[in-house]
Amino acid sequence: MTETRDLAGRVVLVTGASRGLGFAAAKNAAARGAHIVAVARTVGGLEDLDDEIQAAGSSATLVPMDLTDGDAIDRLGAAIFERWGQLDGLIGNAGALGVLTPVPHIKPKDFANVFAVNVGANYRLIRSVDLLLRQSDAGRAVFVSSGAALSAKPYWGLYAASKAALDAMVKSYAGEMAITNVKANVFYPGQVRTAMRAKAMPGEDPLTLPAPDEIAPKLVDLISPAYDKSGMRVDVLKGEEPL
């Protein structure tokens, strides 16, 4: 279903765009014609992304920002409205792993931070850009989740709970958008060669895993106007099914 320039002229917001899957997704969406609004905390990573996007003949707007700053997210939504009047795609990719530990050992500050990034920030993004997505002829929102939301293995309780909450929130939002042009879905990328994966599985050989650039097109497909399903869990390994 992917067309080379299926995102031509569209404005796409990508969070966690300075490295890993977010970096790769931003590059892929830009190569398909989108103008990228790239959000991340790491300025250097955003500048590297901008260099690659420009070299490929596309353009980006860099937004160095901490996604736990809800007021900053609101300002971003206002800025997008003033400049473009709409948003065509949202890729909510930024995430926090936290600490892999028994539930009783989770520190309150770690619990608060993981939920702030994985759930709270995405809620604030939806709140800020909902009307902008509705202004698009085919507004698309996709949020990167994880199979951990379903497996909830021992020691993964914090991360799993946050991703399960994200899935539930997106399912509700997708239902609310049923009579609009907006589609909302979650994406399970599987095991990908990223810094987060290396932190979670330090003994694993990263070269046995697919690189972000291999997975990114499947993620970006979900913000294409051609993808017209909503409330779906799209799993790279298992296919897609309703949330």
Would you say residue 6 lies in a domain? no
Give Cα separations from 53 to 33, 46, 87 (angstroms).
10, 10, 19
Would you say residue 86 lies in a domain? yes
CA Rg value for the chain: 17
Would you say residue 173 lies in a domain? yes
Q: Under DSSP, is residue 229 helix (H, G, I), strand (E, B) or coil?
A: coil
Would you say residue 111 lies in a domain? yes
- The sheet with strand 239-242 has its strands ordered as 60-64, 35-40, 11-15, 89-92, 140-144, 183-188, 232-235, 239-242
Would you say residue 5 lies in a domain? no
pLDDT in tens, 11-28: 999 999 999 999 999 999
> Which of 182, 179, 176, 170 is CA-nearest to residue 138?
182
Question: Position of tokens 């473009």?
Answer: 84
pLDDT of 224 above 80: yes
Would you say residue 230 lies in a domain? yes
From CA 123, how far away is CA 118, in angstroms rounded? 9
Q: Which residues of 64-75 are buried (b: 16+ CB within 10 A; e: fewer)?
A: bbebbebebbee
Q: What is the pLDDT of residue 236?
A: 94
Please state whether the predicted TM-score (pTM) of the whole model is above 0.85. Answer: yes
Would you say residue 217 lies in a domain? yes
The residues carrying an active-site annotation are 159
Would you state the structure tokens that stand for residue 194, as one six-digit string? 């990223």
Q: Identify the domain containing residue 156 by its residue range.
A: 11-242
- The string of DSSP letters for 117-166 reads IIIIHHHHHHHHHHHHHHHSTT-EEEEE--THHHH--TT-HHHHHHHHHH
CB 216 within 8 A of CB 91: no
> Which of 140, 143, 142 is CA-nearest to residue 117?
143
pLDDT in tens, 177-189: 999 999 999 999 9
E-state strands within 4-154: 11-15, 35-40, 60-64, 89-92, 140-144
88: domain CATH number? Answer: 3.40.50.720
Question: Position of tokens 């990228």?
Answer: 36
Would you say residue 55 lies in a domain? yes
> Which of 191, 181, 184 is CA-nearest to residue 151?
191
CB 157 within 8 A of CB 204: no
Number of domains in the chain: 1
239 Cβ partners below 8 Å, 6+ apart?
A: none
Q: What is the pLDDT of residue 190?
A: 83
Q: Which residue has the higher pLDDT, 1 or 162?
A: 162
Q: What is the pLDDT of residue 209?
A: 66
pLDDT in tens, 36-69: 999 999 999 999 999 999 998 999 999 999 999 9
